[in-house]
Structure 1
Amino acid sequence: MSMMRGSYVFEEETHLTVLKTCLFFAGDGFAAYDNKGERVFRVDSYGHDVRDRHELVLMDVSGKCLITVRRKRPSLHQRWEGFLGEIIEGQKNEPIFSVRRSSIIGRSAVTVEVYGDNPGEEYQIDGSFSRRCCDFYNAARETVAEVRRKANASANVVFGKDVFTLVVKPGFDAAFAMGLVLILDQIDVGEFGLFDDGEDQVQDQVL
């Protein structure tokens, strides 16, 4: 899956460290770093009421807009749409993918539908984003990306939920995966922990 024409599609499994760039308000911003500590993506979206936020922009390190995600209104199951680059008001902006919560009661899954060059292509996201433990699957139920808690094995510590790891499998677009993370975070906040299935601690000791 390549949204960015190969720019963020890697031949090897890639682990990005993602952290919220402001801890005063949930969802205020994000930064993603590679294993060398170099920043790859950034998201600046500061505001006091995250439940009113309906649009976020994923940028590269220079500030160039890569993907814009926008909540579709009205929407029965909190549907979001993703656009390539910047949305220009007054022009026709066609979404390249959409994201919706599962309509099945008791299920915390999310469905991603891709448009454009990949009509009918779908992905499924299962797990608990609140606990930073969820998997992204393609139609063949192959894992294409994962969200996991960030751990420091040498210090025997697991970090809090404001720092986590985004694992991107070979051939899957890391920018697309990061765009989906932004939407998951907004769904989680907007639904007061939609994917939360248990306790959340700032720091846990590794057993």
Structure 2
Amino acid sequence: MVPLVSKLYCSSTEVVYVVRKRPHVINGGGFVVTNCDQKVVFSVDGCGILGKAEELILRDERRDALLLIRGKGGIFEALSFNKIWNAYRYDFQGSKKLVFSLRKPKSCLPVDKDTGIRITTKPNLGKKDWDFEISGYFPGKECSIIDSQGNLVAQIGKNKKAGVLLSKDLYYVSIKPGIDQAFVVGVIAILDNIYGESTSC
């Protein structure tokens, strides 16, 4: 797979991270992603910190911004059958470059599966009109990111190693070799916001 954010975040082996929600009352919400040594690898700031709804920032371990994530609103959203999110990174000149778009179909009915949540990359790398999709149900922390060929890219779950049951504010993400970890965490940030979790107000 071609790195979407940076080859620095692509590992030759599978990695397992713990995602920990930050409380709104203490530091504005969002979440941090830690490795097995409990070192922060990524963090996500939501509207509790930024003060803007549907705007998120993915940061690296030094708190440098990697992705600016925005939901499309206004007239566009009102006329669309989908809710669209765009993730941008800044190039060396400071201009924004679209990395990926996530679209979730609008539905009047509650569903227990994330059917139809699809992700496209720019330029589009797949033969379909999407490159990745979400399978499962994010609020239950039982979901996967799958590529357009059906290969598992990342798995989100409550129980990953040694049957350890985590608290409601912690869950695991395992990311396959060669997959851009910053991209996966960016997708998790959008899902977190869509379902009104730690990054939303």
* Band of TM-score, shorter chain: 0.7 to 0.9
CA distance in 2, matches of 1:161, 1:84: 31
Higher relative contact order, chain-length normalized (CA < 8 Å, sep 6+): 2
The yes-or-no answer on 1:178 pairing with 2:196 is: no
Q: 44, 64, 85: which is aligned to 1:80?
A: 85
Q: CA deviation at 1:20?
A: 0.7
Match of 2:71 in 1: 71
Counterpart of 2:70, as a letter, is R
- Does the C-alpha gap of structure 1 residues 45 and 169 become closer, same or farther in structure 2, counting only changes over 3 Å? same
When the two chains are superposed, the root-mean-square deviation of aligned CA atoms in Å is 2.9
Q: CA deviation at 1:46?
A: 5.0
SS in 2 for 1:19: strand
Output the TM-score relative to the length of structure 2: 0.78
CA distance in 2, matches of 1:180, 1:92: 22
Output the TM-score relative to the length of structure 1: 0.76
Question: Contact 2:90–2:96 (CA<8 Å) still a contact in 1?
Answer: no
SS in 2 for 1:78: strand
Counterpart of 1:68, as a letter, is L
Structure 2 spans left out of the alignment, 5+ residues:
none
Question: Contact 2:99–2:122 (CA<8 Å) still a contact in 1?
Answer: yes
Write out per-residue CA displacement over residues 59-80 of structure 1, whole angstroms, 9 at most, x where no aligned residue.
0111111111100123232210
- Does the C-alpha gap of structure 1 residues 8 and 157 become closer, same or farther in structure 2, counting only changes over 3 Å? closer
Write out per-residue CA displacement over residues 131-167 of structure 1, whole angstroms, 9 at most, x where no aligned residue.
11101000110100011114674xx752233101011
Pairwise mapping of residues 9-88 of structure 1 onto structure 2 (< 5 A)?
Answer: 9-22=10-23, 24=25, 28-47=29-48, 53-73=53-73, 74-75=76-77, 76=80, 77-85=82-90
- Does the C-alpha gap of structure 1 residues 121 and 79 become closer, same or farther in structure 2, counting only changes over 3 Å? closer
Q: Quick one: percent identity of the two aligned structures?
A: 25
Question: Contact 1:115–1:121 (CA<8 Å) still a contact in 2?
Answer: no
Q: CA deviation at 1:43?
A: 1.8
Question: Contact 1:99–1:111 (CA<8 Å) still a contact in 2?
Answer: yes
Counterpart of 2:99, as a letter, is I
CA distance in 1, matches of 2:170, 2:159: 6
**Structure with more of its chain in helix, by fraction:** 2
Counterpart of 2:54, as a letter, is H
Q: 167, 180, 190: which is aligned to 2:174?
A: 167
Q: CA deviation at 1:121?
A: 5.5
